[in-house]
Chain A
Amino acid sequence: MEQQLDGQKPVQKASPEMIHSLFLINHSGDIFLEKHWKSVISRSVCDYFFEAKEKAEDPENVPPVLQTPHHYLISIYRGKLFFLSVVQTEVPPLFVIEFLHRVADTFQEYFGECSESVIKDNVVIVYELLEEMLDNGFPLATESNVLKEMIRPPTILRSVVNTLTGGSNVGDTLPTGQLSIIPWRRAGVKYTNNEAYFDVIEEIDAIVDKSGTTVFAEIQGVIEACVRLSGMPDLTLSFMNPRLLDDMSFHPCVRFKRWEAERVLSFIPPDGNFRLMSYHVSSQNLVAIPVYVKQNISFLETGSCGRLEITIGPKQTMGKMVEALMATIHMPKSVLSVSLTASQGSYTYDITTKILIWDIGRLNPQKLPNLRGSLSMQTGVPKPEENPSINIDLKIQQLAISGLKVSRLDMYGEKYKPFKGVKYLTKAGKFQVRT
């Protein structure tokens, strides 16, 4: 049946390109954009996807790779949108997945967000971008520095001017990027204020069990860079304690060889924002867990109610303030409503998703935040077997919890003195307390 729907002409042979078509699908299952790099594939191919989506209930559970009689569907879920690509032949699935994420990243960078409305508003630019990013199903230009030279990101002012004058979004000058000796950096960058900022952001992933012992903990970090430097600066970033880093991945600009030999990051940066490296802190080091959680959630055998009490206190905060503290609990289905008092902050309970969120804010070590009260349960249903786990969010400014420190940043190749800045931030990653 698919064959009939499949297009105007019988296909001579399976077309060899990697990515044949792309469909963008919103949360409620409407296809709002399609792009074909070769012959048109009917939208009906997405029916297989919708079927799987229905089955999965949760969009996160839709299998990223689906097989249909004549095609394979590879999809990602980003910002409440599905990016669904159609391929016809063998291709490494990660290749397609990684590319789709790169497309989403590009939208994000161009439009500030990656949502249905924004894509619809900018559909022409989106189409132009997709045209440049893929040629015959094979990625052509995916570096944002290069793309931005060919297709200008929209600004409010420009779109107004364009309408009035009939101006365009396409760059007037043709790109040089593809041929620049540094493929990720555009040529002829000029700034009056030369600045380079680096954010060292670390996330603590942890599983803490009922008794408060850490089952598993590790630190994952990234260095996000925002570099606005004229010319062709050649930067060297070194650490006080590079030995902490156990495993890392780099932006293609980083010279791997020098890292191996000297443990310094040496690179010619792309222009603008980019992720310089991500790293994993050696698991031999003990991970400092900034907060402890005392909790007691119980469902009573008789009567349809339960009790909940949670207290959060500082554990190893390195003398810094814990901010943006938040606890999220997925309650069992039988919890109908909650009636709680929070000593600090506020809580919300969504009765449809059964998610309790307690937004605490700053952690005051003198007066520990506490949430207590009762849960009302559906009657006639046996008490839930399990206790829900608590997910913690938090932020600690000016601290990299692993102790990683940038020691210096040097610039070669340009004469001016750039302004340099490093910021540290620790966040909770997947931080889960089992109850």
Chain B
Amino acid sequence: MSTAALYNDQGAAEAAVEAGQETTPTSSSSGAAFGLFSTDFKKNEDLKEMLESNKESLKLEAMKRIVQLISKGKNASELFPAIVKNVASKNIELKKLVYVYLVRYAEEQQDLALLSISTFQRALKDPNQFIRASALRVLSSIRVPIIVPIMMLAIKEAAADLSPYVRKTSAHAIQKLHSLDPDQKEQLIEVIEKLLKDKSTLVAGSVVMAFEEVCPDRIDLIHKNYRKLCNLLVDVEEWGQVVIINMLTRYARTQFLNPNINESLLEEGSGGEKMFYGSDEDEDEDEKEKKAEAAAIAKRKPYVMDPDHRLLLRNTKPLLQSRNAAVVMAVAQLYFHLAPKAEVGVIAKALVRLLRSHSEVQFVVLQNVATMTIKRRGMFEPYLKSFYIRSTDPTQIKVLKLEVLTNLANETNISTILREFQTYIKSMDKDFVAATIQAIGRCATNIGEVRDTCLNGLVQLLSNRDELVVAESVVVIKKLLQMQPEKHSDIIKHMAKLTDNIQVPMARASILWLIGEYCEHVPRIAPDVLRKMAKSFTNEEDIVKLQIINLAAKLYLTNSKQTKLLTQYVLNLAKYDQNYDIRDRARFVRQLIVPTEKSGALSKYAKKLFLALKPAPVLESPFKDRDHFQLGSLSHLLNAKAGGYQELPEWPEAAPDPSVRNVEVKESVPEWTKCSSREKRKEKKVEKPFYSDSEGESGPTESADSESDSASTTDSASASVSEESESGLESESEEESETEEEEEDKKEKKNQKKEPKKPVQESESEQSSEEEDRKPEKRSKKLKSDSESDSVEDEGSESESSPSESEDFESEAVVTKKKKAAESKPPSKSVRKEEKKEKKEMSLLDLDDFEPTPSPQVTPVNTLLSNSLATDLEGLSLSDSILSPATIIPSGALKNYELLHRITGEGLSVEYCFSRQPFSPDANMVAVQLQFTNNSTSDTKNLHMEDVRLQSGMRVKEFPEIELLPAGEMTSAVMGIDFCDSTQAANFQLCSHTKKFFVSIQPPVGELMRPVFLTENEFKKEQGQLMGMNEITEKLTLDVKCRNEHAIVQRVTTAANLSRVPCGSDKECRFAGRTVTSSSLVLVTVATREEGAAQLMVNCEKMVIGTMLVKDILLALTQ
């Protein structure tokens, strides 16, 4: 600090000389600090001479030395006149150094600085963009009010420059000018408005930065640029991403509805985890009220996420993979503040990853994680161990990790956490030990079950050798005992004994307070302690003295016989204490407890005053409620509002008009992709932004070459349909969403088309008619084009497999369809079907477009689609539509198994089938659809599951209770089982209001997998890695009815939930899937030879699954 004072002295003349001396004496290299110039130090006079010489090299050397002076904080202002002459130098390096100097000193030497302005003005017109940019940079850095008009002009011109780099610099200059002269705000806003429209990724970050500084409240400027910004985001440079994400977080808070608004409704329907979240939020009255209100609103109007809100979430997610911690944190806070609860979990993994980074990064991330764990504990629970503490962590990191661990503690993991804490207590780092003891105290108060264990543990620490440990334990024990003192009088006794040994004042004071407070539990010991204390009174610390007086007073009131004299003695001692607080206290207490004539009135209440019941302290996390600050912000870190902090607005009650974000169709898309860096990539997806939308949704399918080809073919067809635009999203069409829609649309069409392929119980025509029914309106709209495009498309998408293959079935289907089409709408159908259709549409609103066709073996692609659908649906409507029975249409083609026979079930019969739908609450579970039929004459009530018995590792998500099943009716429900990739049965009891039945569900091995989409190459590659033990081959003779490709495909996909892999040879059929729990690949190849001979090959890491699968498929193909 002494050196710092020295630097303040601005003795300019001696600056150069000083520079030599002040380098640190400890540093061996101090002599070399001046590199080549270290040998001769000259005064500024020399520098002046050098600057005025004709030699460029001398000038340069002088400038280098001047920069060195500046870097040391020395004053070099008197050289200004000599230096400013060189501003027009041709030498780039010299010029740069002059710029450095000008920026530093222009403010102090305003008159002289003006001399250089004309040079910059000339440079602003230079043909080289970099000279233009750097001239603007320097010009705008010269903080001289006189040149404001010149700056303004320069900025306006630069904002219209052809070079995005210059435009970027102009965005920076806006902020500089604004801080120099806030009166220019209005004009600057105009420039910002203009630059916001810029389509270059280079400019986006900087202009948003300027927006945030100059006019953060002008949210209206963002509307039209919102979608563009979302789409550009992945391609913006890292620093710009952070700024944009933070701004969009605020924007979204003003424009969209709270996605968690009807979380209470959601919780009823789904996951235990969500229940969890709800429960650990303490809801005070207001909040409850609000929730009730919200729920009421929600009932009236189901929440549907604005597509723009979804767009933001989707486009930021890939950035969680950024190498830049600030970007990851920005996305994490965006998800925390904006995403539906169920989706927030994705950020946990990325944040945990940051814990591997530099310790400063860890420090900031842990602070944010600590806040998050209070609201969303479940999210970080799987990463508990990542917060374990190492002895080499810096203390501040240790303490934060401890905080997180404490927040994560719950009934199930507390024993593991306490075991960890035990090792921490032995640490050498005493501050950390103290923090650990406090953490144990907090666990004990929060989790009732372990309170006694913790207390015992802490009591054991009382005999610790380290006094600090003991003291901290005493303080914590005191707090814990306050919660239930009557049970622990022996601990109080034990602590009373400690007064002889413990010297730490805070601990002594705590013990004395405890004894005084609970003196009725230790009637014998208390007076004795007071006696000892009276003896040592004069030597005690102040806080201890105060507590001795306190103890004396309490004992006097409860047990005056034994302690009257002692109390008098203590009070007398205190009366003459050096500390006036203690003297005052003694006087005050004496008046209160010892009745005299004068004091009458209050002493009557002495007992009430001293012995009132004290509320137990609440041990709270210091991070509680910190989330009212935007996470990741400086204000959050400091837990105090920093200057310039923008509050995160509350969600609006009703969403503002979403149409403000609509933009003219033409403008946005193609142009910005052009300027983004993608252009020249030799990728198939040229125009797709780099990461573009990450979500699994379209991911795998898109990669297939066929997809992109067909996309173009479909374009025309689907354009005419363009159905999804109801939501007001309109055809603004960011290319993202549109292609997606197209894809979905297309896939859906594919499904419809493929349906005829499946084994048909009903006649084929009837089936397609049924399908027609599902969307009569739509059909009618696209009748013609549809039937045509169908066939085109199909060839496109399946081109890799033999075209002839599809022809057989396709043509037939198409013909039927065409026929139907010709007949046109209301095709004949049963009334029931009609009803069904209508019901479905009602429940899912417009979403039925996406509804996966429910037929079971509807080709893999379809299931894949439904996978993505699950996510889509989740996002779009929070009512848990996957679970609701309405979505699952019982289909005869699914193989039904009996769970409960009519006779054993006393009238209730239950069948189940594996619906092959993704089970949305938990992707590791297999969805099982149960069909209940009440054949009896009385109603059955409260159907639910109980007493689930499973092999270890298996899990079950029960179906929601069925409240009433009237006599003669049927209903269905869906449950999820995680079989852990084994065919072990799940046993449970099915209970109604009167009866219980033991039942079990055992899956065929083929249901333990879900289809994945692979290209032929990927398939071969993966197969190559699953050789040897992982490969099983069987020879077989195909069943006579099963000698064409179609039949084989159909039988294999019925036997196992696999997807077809395109294959160049028509002698081979390939299928791929992954096991549901462990995601191990399952590859199946059926190669046909002459005369129905064939070879079946299964490649799978899990040999048991492979073996069983071979058996099942063999059976399916030979019978």
Which A residues form the contact surface with B (CB < 8 A)? 5, 8-9, 12-17, 26, 28-36, 38-40, 42-44, 46-47, 50, 58, 60-61, 63-65, 67, 72, 75-78, 87-95, 97-99, 101, 116-117, 120-124, 126-128, 131, 135-136, 138-140, 142, 159, 163, 165-166, 168-172, 174-175, 178-179, 181-183, 207, 209, 215-216, 218, 220, 232, 234, 240-241, 243, 246-252, 255-258, 260-262, 266, 268, 275, 278, 280, 284, 330, 332-333, 382, 384-389, 391, 412-413, 430, 432, 434
Contact = CB atoms under 8 A, between A and B. Distances in A.
B599 interface: no
A172 B92 contact: yes
B330 interface: yes
B283 interface: no
Contact of A120 (B29, B176, B1079): B29
Contact of B644 (A16, A101, A135, A261): A16
A76 B3 CA distance: 21
Contact of B32 (A9, A117, A126): A117
Given A61-B396, A64-B364, A127-B71, A90 B242 contact: no
User: Nearest 6 A-B pairs (CB), nearest first?
Assistant: A166-B57, A256-B691, A117-B29, A89-B644, A168-B93, A261-B703
B688 interface: yes
A98 B93 contact: no
Given A34-B72, A278-B323, A72 B24 contact: no
A333 B466 CA distance: 14
Given A12-B182, A131-B100, A135-B169, A257 B32 contact: no
Interface stretch (B257-265, B480-488, B540-548, B635-643): B635-643
B68 A430 contact: no
Nearest to B55: A166
B4 A31 contact: yes
A31 to B, nearest CB: 7
Contacts of A174: 128, 130-131
Interface stretch (B218-226, B590-598, B692-700, B899-907): B692-700
A359 B322 CA distance: 37
19 contacts: A12-B182, A16-B644, A35-B71, A76-B358, A94-B632, A97-B358, A120-B33, A131-B96, A136-B141, A142-B238, A166-B57, A174-B130, A181-B677, A256-B318, A257-B694, A258-B703, A260-B694, A261-B703, A382-B465
Given A12-B179, A16-B175, A138-B239, A168 B143 contact: no
B522 interface: no
Contacts of B34: 120
B383 to A, nearest CB: 9
B364 A97 contact: yes
Contacts of B428: 330, 332-333, 384, 386, 388
Given A122-B35, A178-B165, A127 B323 contact: no
Contacts of A131: 96, 99-100
A391 B643 contact: no
Nearest to A391: B392
A117 B128 CA distance: 37
Interface stretch (B349-357, B610-618, B875-883): B349-357
B172 interface: yes
B107 A39 contact: yes
Contacts of A248: 321
A268 to B, nearest CB: 7
B156 to A, nearest CB: 18
Contacts of B36: 159, 163
Nearest to B688: A257
B1073 to A, nearest CB: 14
A90 B643 contact: yes
A94 B361 contact: yes
A138 B391 contact: no
A382 to B, nearest CB: 5
B608 interface: no
Given A94-B325, A97-B358, A124-B64, 19 more contacts: A31-B3, A36-B104, A50-B1, A75-B360, A92-B329, A99-B239, A99-B326, A101-B358, A121-B29, A136-B175, A138-B239, A142-B239, A168-B92, A207-B388, A232-B680, A247-B352, A255-B690, A256-B234, A260-B696
B7 A183 contact: no
A160 to B, nearest CB: 9
Given A39-B143, A43-B4, A43-B8, A117 B27 contact: yes
Contacts of B137: 135
A33 B93 contact: no
B73 interface: yes
Given A46-B4, A61-B396, A165-B57, A261 B699 contact: yes
B108 interface: yes
A95 B242 contact: yes
Contact of A330 (B35, B318, B391): B391
A121 B35 contact: yes
Contacts of B318: 256, 260
A328 to B, nearest CB: 9
B677 A92 contact: no
Given A89-B643, A257-B694, A240 B1025 contact: yes
Contact of B634 (A28, A91, A140): A91
A92 B252 CA distance: 19
B811 interface: no
Contacts of A250: 321-323
A8 to B, nearest CB: 7
A16 to B, nearest CB: 4
Contacts of A241: 1025
B918 interface: no
Interface in B394-411: 394-396
Interface in B317-337: 318, 321-326, 328-330
B4 A47 contact: yes
A257 B708 CA distance: 14
Interface string B674-689: 0001011111010010
A97 B326 CA distance: 8
Q: Among A101, A171, A183, A256, find the residue whose CB has the most chain B CB atoms closer than 10 A.
A: A256
B767 interface: no
Given A34-B71, A61-B395, A385-B465, A90 B637 contact: no
B1036 interface: no
Given A44-B4, A165-B57, A250-B323, A170 B92 contact: yes
A13 B130 contact: no
Q: Among A16, A127, A257, find the residue whose CB has the most chain B CB atoms closer than 10 A.
A: A257
B360 A77 contact: yes
A53 to B, nearest CB: 10
A182 B634 contact: no
B164 interface: yes
A146 B698 CA distance: 35
A257 B35 contact: no
B71 A434 contact: no
B161 interface: no
Interface string B104-131: 1001100000000000000000001111
B179 A13 contact: yes
Contacts of A65: 363-364, 634, 637-638
B620 to A, nearest CB: 22
A92 B330 contact: yes
A391 B391 CA distance: 9
Contact of B104 (A9, A40, A92): A40
Nearest to A118: B29
Q: Among B91, B239, B350, B360, find the residue whose CB has the most chain A CB atoms closer than 10 A.
A: B360
Contact of B426 (A78, A255, A385): A385
A207 to B, nearest CB: 6
Contacts of A169: 93
Q: Among A179, A255, A260, find the residue whose CB has the most chain B CB atoms closer than 10 A.
A: A260
B329 A268 contact: no
Contacts of A258: 683, 703
A406 B184 CA distance: 58
Contacts of A257: 685, 688, 690-692, 694, 699
